[in-house]
Structure 1
Amino acid sequence: MSAHIEPLKNKLIQQLSTIYENIILKQSTDEIAETLIDIMRLTDDITPPQPFTNHWSETDIVLITYGDSIIKAGQKPLQTLKGFLDNHLKDTINSVHILPFFPYSSDDGFSVIDYSSVNESLGSWQDITEISQHYQLMSDLVINHCSSRSAWFDNFIKGEGPGHDFFFTAQLDDDLSTVVRPRTSPLLKAVATGKGQKFVWCTFSHDQVDFDFRNPAVLIAFASIIRQYLDSGVKIFRFDAIAFLWKIVGRDCINLPQTHEVVRLLRTLIESADPKAIIITETNVPNTQNLTYFGNANEAHGIYNFSLPPLLINTLLTGNCTHLKRWLMSMPPSQDGTMYFNFIASHDGIGLRPAEGLLSHTELDSLVQTIESFGGKISWRTTDNGEQKAYEMNIALYDALQGTVAGKDQWNFERFICAHAIMFALEGVPGVYIHSMLGTQNDYNKLANTHNNRAINRHRWDEDELETALADSSLHHEKVLTTLKSLLNTRIKQRAFHPNATQFTLHLGLQLFGFWRQSQNRKQSIFCVSNISDKPVALPLSELNLIVTQAWVELISGDQIYGLTQEIMLSPYQTVWISNV
């Protein structure tokens, strides 16, 4: 065995021993490790990954989209998406997260029927590979559950064949009172099988049946899936709903130690197969729990910055940056080899759990009521004591920012751009939802047709209608796309906006939210300041302590900064990026 494979195998054995401690296995951990190495095709010439290495830079921008967010008659949606990227974003966006593009039965792709196929209505693996050859491809690994219509679950019902022992079951009299989950539906689903009635575990819905990772065959199956995705050009793996992976009856079944060890093991496999491939964990949980998925720079390379959306939206709706500033000050810098994945809108709603402990109950209630007044919907979860609690707000971001807690106003566009200008400048890699890029508004028809609150922010554009909207200067869509592209094209040229560049929070009062970024070579400084209120606010340059011997420029407007003791009057929701040159 080579000098590289032997230590890899030993590491896998150690990780497997930790995961399956106190579980009687049919195979030894040695045999399982060898199987994983074979499936991942890890040979003697593998290059060991270098720890604490950043595989990202200020040039990395991720577009988040469904494969069919844009459709064109007579063309597969993945081909239409590639055309849109090439025509509108190729000089701005270098990465694309295509949400689940597999055959599915519900939840807009997150109830996967077959992990090895591309949904024929979207296109083919050739279309996926074509996109991956021009853009860094991010794909979901829907690892907690699959569709109840999958072949695996069919075999579970029959009691034989691949998948017959892949699913977690419990008993009705088990103590499940402390299980944490984001849904109000019953946790267990009764299923008639060839071996009698079973009660399968369903964290999210009864069409989404949870895997039982106590069976190493499930882990091996997902190693095979990962290998196929790597072969098809996937560079970034989004571990969907990973926090719920491991279950123990009588426990809360979220963020368990075995879950963290599975993440570490999968990172070992993925990095060994492709040292530049990365993992981003999707853990919509309170902030302190979310941070644990960095591990010691040996778990996720990136974590979704879930607290940012509700805090930033709350800031812009209240005109007070206290909570956003306090949170930013509390966030540890991401060490080399890790990064934050920043976003303020996605295919899901705006999660409220990550704001728990950061916003008071009264403030959360006010936020929910304001979003409802702007046409949004609220999704609920059941707490341990049976209470119904707001889980997420479902609304298109453009509509979420059409006013303040006082009501709608004329600053919708400016407030929307301000939110993105803040997010683009923060430490981390920005992810931009396609409907934010296009200024898409609430889709009430899709909401009515699906009865799914999340559908309100999952509009499907007809390409001709979209191009007409983008060509009409009287509509906000063109203005949104042009302005966001301009901000991003400025961002990707600044070394101080590297995802791991230094960041310090500025103290400029309640209406000015600001932070300072410095490049890793310490040559560039950028002061990022936003007026988060609906009134003009003066920014005294003396508060920034700009070095008088250097020349300064405001990057967004391109204006030179003269007189470092003067004030700059910021219009409502205006952002400035003041940089030395």
Structure 2
Amino acid sequence: MDAQGGSVVGAAVEPRSGHGVELLTYADRLGGDLARLGDLLAGPLSDFDGVHILPFFVPYDGADAGFDPVDHAQVDPRLGDWDQVRALAKGCEVTADLIVNHVSSESAEFRDWLRLSDASPYDGMFLTYATVFPDGGTEQQITAFYRPRPGLPFTAYSHADGQRRLVWTTFLPSQVDLDVHHPRAKDYLRRILTVLRTGGVTTVRLDAVGYAVKTPGTDSFMTAQTLDFVSEITALAREIGLRVLVEVHANYRQQLAIAPLVDLVYDFALPALLLHGFGTHTVDRLAHWLDIRPSNAITVLDTHDGIGVIDAGPGGGQPGLLSLEEMTAIFARAETATNGHSAIASVVPEWAAMPHQINATFFSALGADLTTYLVARAVQLWMPGRPQLYYVGLLGGLDDVELFARTGNGRDVNRHVYDADETADALRSDVTRALLALVRLRSNHRAFDGTFSHRVLGEDRIELTWTGAEASARLEAGFAAQPDLVIELTDAAGSGVVTEPGQLLEL
């Protein structure tokens, strides 16, 4: 039973039916709270059949925007409660995060361990330096660990009796890592999964799972040991009745390796390939990716972490879909398009050649050119898999430089807080109305129940086609200096052609 009295549903969730689109949003940044989010999904955003609500636990506004839960089992009362999450789940599928790598240093479990040391019922739950290096570690071993932020992944904490511990903190000093192999950490993760399922969640995203297993002698990121743990936690989630989405930013081969182990992976390579295509006026790299990409992909262009790009580049000693020089050019073009802002906001991890993500909105990274932006979104919504639109991208948001200036967190340029009036205004804008027309098309046109094919029409032109019973949907996307699109639709009711972005408003 959870805190709200719900019972656990143990039956496995059936795979998503249809071909709908998912919204990615914070509960508080699209009008206020869970109730307001529910109103939007029942009203102007009703063509979305799923919503991934970014961490809404206690507190939702911590040091890492909810990814540092003090209480992962409770909805922050400022946002609502589990009943409201369950109400949302009646109208659309709900995805939530299982923050598998860490908890907040203010969590009851960690505070109890600091107070009672080895007498705590949570002793062993948290990863320490001594856990990984019982006999000590060499400089080479310690510096080999991959960390997405500058510095070493340890923070000093003291028990109440004065004993000092060096606790593993992969991300922030306030985010203490779990020893995911310890029975007490496993019990914790099982409890959270059960609460999520009882609360109406059908899919869990394994946040930061690529960092969860520390193996001396390796960089401890997406190793064979990590894949073993992914298989283990996926089996546990499925046992409870949840589907599993894995978040990994790494060379595209890692996505290919992990895709068969879980239900869903992200296509983080697509945004970089589109930015490369627009910058070089070529489609060959995009076409190659379409030949080999996983079929169980969540298709994104932007997320709360920025614009994922590292996945398309070389990494782990492996070549990428794009070369290092081509990746460098993507960052340079984004810097120009954002008047230098993306270079300031994007963080380069220790010993890395470039950032993981471009910290900018996707619209800003394209110089706020509406046609180019709609071509990019049309390609996204035509891709096989499940498209997911981030709320800032849906509302045509530009970089929130004021929020970044206040917080110093580069990712905040793409995390604007929309109040109810701003949301209403954005929903009336041409860019959002055009995007919602594409969402409605992807969600409702029978062609997307069919089969997908693609072909290259020229150096700067690609065709993406869905063919179903008595229905087809063809997108011709041009990546020339002046991008363009052609959409041809047929079904039992007739046919139609779109050749101008403005015509999307008529769909």
Which interval holds the TM-score relative to the shorter structure?
A: 0.7 to 0.9
For 2:53, the equivalent position in structure 1 comes to 98
Are 2:473 and 2:489, in contact at CA under 8 Å, matched by a contact in 1? no
Instruction: Indicate whether 1:313 and 2:262 are aligned.
Output: no
User: Structure 1 vs Structure 2: percent identity of aligned residues?
Assistant: 27
For 1:494, the equivalent position in structure 2 comes to 445
Are 1:190 and 1:199, in contact at CA under 8 Å, matched by a contact in 2? yes
For 1:71, the equivalent position in structure 2 comes to 31
Instruction: Indicate whether 1:131 and 2:88 are aligned.
Output: yes
For 1:236, the equivalent position in structure 2 comes to 203
For 1:20, the equivalent position in structure 2 comes to none
For 1:253, the equivalent position in structure 2 comes to 220
Which of 528, 531, 555 is matched with 2:478 structurally?
531
> Structure 1 residues 482 and 513 mapped into 2: Cα distance closer, same or farther (>3 Å)?
same
For 2:152, the equivalent position in structure 1 comes to 186
**1:466 Cα deviation after fit:** 2.8
For 2:465, the equivalent position in structure 1 comes to 516
**Secondary structure of residue in 2 paired with 1:112:** coil
**Secondary structure of residue in 2 paired with 1:283:** coil
For 2:245, the equivalent position in structure 1 comes to 280
> Structure 1 residues 307 and 574 mapped into 2: Cα distance closer, same or farther (>3 Å)?
farther
For 2:127, the equivalent position in structure 1 comes to 168
For 1:264, the equivalent position in structure 2 comes to 231
> Structure 1 residues 387 and 240 mapped into 2: Cα distance closer, same or farther (>3 Å)?
closer
Distance, in Å, in 2 between the alignment partners of 1:267 and 1:523 is 38
Structure with larger RCO (C-alpha < 8 A, sep 6+): 2
Q: How does 1:534-553 map to 2 (within 5 A)?
A: 534-535=481-482, 553=489
Distance, in Å, in 2 between the alignment partners of 1:161 and 1:226 is 23
For 1:16, the equivalent position in structure 2 comes to none
**1:185 Cα deviation after fit:** 2.6
Are 1:101 and 1:109, in contact at CA under 8 Å, matched by a contact in 2? yes
**1:247 Cα deviation after fit:** 1.1
**Secondary structure of residue in 2 paired with 1:184:** coil
Distance, in Å, in 2 between the alignment partners of 1:215 and 1:195 is 24
Instruction: Indicate whether 1:58 and 2:58 are aligned.
Output: no
Distance, in Å, in 1 between the alignment partners of 2:224 and 2:290 is 27
Distance, in Å, in 2 between the alignment partners of 1:572 and 1:530 is 12
Q: How does 1:449-488 map to 2 (within 5 A)?
A: 449-471=406-428, 478-488=429-439
Which of 167, 170, 176 is matched with 1:203 structurally?
170
Are 1:414 and 1:574, in contact at CA under 8 Å, matched by a contact in 2? no
Q: How does 1:7-22 map to 2 (within 5 A)?
A: none
Which of 391, 402, 411 is matched with 2:367 structurally?
402
> Structure 1 residues 494 and 466 mapped into 2: Cα distance closer, same or farther (>3 Å)?
closer
Distance, in Å, in 2 between the alignment partners of 1:573 and 1:186 is 51
Q: How does 1:281-360 map to 2 (within 5 A)?
A: 281-295=246-260, 299-332=261-294, 334=295, 339-356=296-313, 357-360=320-323
For 2:133, the equivalent position in structure 1 comes to none
> Structure 1 residues 485 and 571 mapped into 2: Cα distance closer, same or farther (>3 Å)?
closer
Could you give the per-residue CA deviations for residues 274-296 of structure 1, whole angstroms, max 9, x where no partner exists? 3xx3111111111101222223x
Distance, in Å, in 1 between the alignment partners of 2:189 and 2:427 is 41
> Structure 1 residues 365 and 273 mapped into 2: Cα distance closer, same or farther (>3 Å)?
closer
**1:65 Cα deviation after fit:** 0.3
Q: TM-score normalized by structure 2?
A: 0.86
Residue type matched to 1:395 in 2? Answer: A
> Structure 1 residues 198 and 322 mapped into 2: Cα distance closer, same or farther (>3 Å)?
same
Are 2:42 and 2:91, in contact at CA under 8 Å, matched by a contact in 1? no
Instruction: Indicate whether 1:507 and 2:456 are aligned.
Output: yes
Are 1:329 and 1:504, in contact at CA under 8 Å, matched by a contact in 2? no
> Structure 1 residues 388 and 199 mapped into 2: Cα distance closer, same or farther (>3 Å)?
farther
Could you give the per-residue CA deviations for residues 128-160 of structure 1, whole angstroms, max 9, x where no partner exists? 222122221110001111112212221232214
**1:246 Cα deviation after fit:** 1.2
Are 2:205 and 2:246, in contact at CA under 8 Å, matched by a contact in 1? yes
For 1:213, the equivalent position in structure 2 comes to 180
Distance, in Å, in 1 between the alignment partners of 2:485 and 2:387 is 28
**Secondary structure of residue in 2 paired with 1:311:** helix
> Structure 1 residues 536 and 226 mapped into 2: Cα distance closer, same or farther (>3 Å)?
closer
Which structure 1 segments of 5+ residues have no match?
1-39, 404-411, 472-477, 542-551, 562-567, 576-581
Are 2:56 and 2:76, in contact at CA under 8 Å, matched by a contact in 1? yes
Which of 326, 348, 355 is matched with 1:381 structurally?
348
Residue type matched to 1:398 in 2? Answer: F
Residue type matched to 1:226 in 2? Answer: L
Distance, in Å, in 2 between the alignment partners of 1:231 and 1:466 is 31
Residue type matched to 2:128 in 1? Answer: T
**Secondary structure of residue in 2 paired with 1:149:** coil
Q: How does 1:10-49 map to 2 (within 5 A)?
A: none
Distance, in Å, in 1 between the alignment partners of 2:355 and 2:248 is 17
Distance, in Å, in 2 between the alignment partners of 1:54 and 1:318 is 42
**Secondary structure of residue in 2 paired with 1:88:** coil
**1:393 Cα deviation after fit:** 0.6
**1:451 Cα deviation after fit:** 0.4
Distance, in Å, in 2 between the alignment partners of 1:153 and 1:488 is 43
Could you give the per-residue CA deviations for residues 6-49 of structure 1, whole angstroms, max 9, x where no partner exists? xxxxxxxxxxxxxxxxxxxxxxxxxxxxxxxxxx9989xx76x6
Deviates more, 1:317-326 or 1:81-90: 317-326
Are 2:283 and 2:456, in contact at CA under 8 Å, matched by a contact in 1? no
Are 1:319 and 1:511, in contact at CA under 8 Å, matched by a contact in 2? yes
Distance, in Å, in 2 between the alignment partners of 1:147 and 1:559 is 55
**Secondary structure of residue in 2 paired with 1:254:** coil
**Secondary structure of residue in 1 paired with 2:71:** coil
Which structure 2 segments of 5+ residues have no match?
1-5, 131-135, 314-319
Q: TM-score normalized by structure 1?
A: 0.75
Q: How does 1:439-458 map to 2 (within 5 A)?
A: 439-458=396-415
Give the number of aligned pairs.
Answer: 476
**1:560 Cα deviation after fit:** 4.9
Distance, in Å, in 2 between the alignment partners of 1:538 and 1:261 is 43
**1:402 Cα deviation after fit:** 1.9
> Structure 1 residues 284 and 234 mapped into 2: Cα distance closer, same or farther (>3 Å)?
same
**Secondary structure of residue in 1 paired with 2:333:** helix
